[in-house]
Amino acid sequence: MDALLLPIGHDLGALYAAGGTARRHQVRAGADLAELSDTEFAIWMLAHGIDDRDQPTRTSLIDGAERFGIDPDEAAAVIDQLQSDRLLAAVDPEDATGFAQTHQLIPLLTGLGPDPDQPWMQNIGLLNQPVVQVSTAVYDVWTWAHLAPQLWAGCEDAAEVARTAGITTADETDPHRVLAGILTSVHGLLCVRAAYLDRRTH
């Protein structure tokens, strides 16, 4: 499987030049503020995915950009630049400890708890308006990861809580498996702005 491409940073909106229509898109990542062109921002946004089944890779991102009129060679160059600027990360979910030790998952919406009709699924959204459903394992990490100094610590904490609760399935008790589950599900959170990935700042 090709590496997943993960967008890093929080969209702060467009900044327009005084008296003109020229704009730059501001993205904060860690303590840094980046300003992206329309093309750069479009590709960064496409890396969030379009639904919970979309898991962008370099190839799919270039193909997606082409559908929006961006030349494939230009898209490839932009992807390289965004990776160099640490606004995109190429990650193998099965070997992602290094990534998880240097990044955080920050929730943006509200946890709504178990779905009444599917209690094994957890709802995330706004004021009783579910936006996305996730597994309990993903929900637990999403809920608490921002309090951990890094995503890896959040996965370790979630695994320890599961073991203490008597859960025995490796997907919930092995932090490496917990992390892999998060990263293969994370675009479902990113695409609806239920969370964003950020650089570790402390």
CATH of residue 62: 3.90.930
Low-confidence stretches of the chain (pLDDT beneath 50): none
| Shared-domain flag, residues 109 and 75 | no
pTM of this prediction exceeds 0.75:
yes
| Shared-domain flag, residues 62 and 105 | no
Residue 19: the pLDDT is 66
| Shared-domain flag, residues 62 and 14 | yes
How many domains is the chain built from? 2
**Domain finish residue from 62, 91, 120:** 91
Residue 202: the pLDDT is 65
| Shared-domain flag, residues 52 and 114 | no
| Shared-domain flag, residues 146 and 128 | yes
Residue 127: the pLDDT is 85
Residue 16: the pLDDT is 83
Residue 14 structural domain? 4-91
* Secondary structure (H, E, C), the chain: CCCEEEEECEEEEEEECCCCCCEEEEEEECCEEEEECHHHHHHHHHCCCCCCCCCCCHHHHHHHHHHCCCCHHHHHHHHHHHHHCCCEEEECHHHCHHHHHCEEEEECCEEEEECCCCCCEEEEEECCEEEEEEEHHHHHHHHHHHHCCCHHHHHHHHHHHHHHCCCCCHHHHCHHHHHHHHHHHHHHHHCCCCEEEEECCC
| Shared-domain flag, residues 102 and 168 | yes
Residue 20: the pLDDT is 66
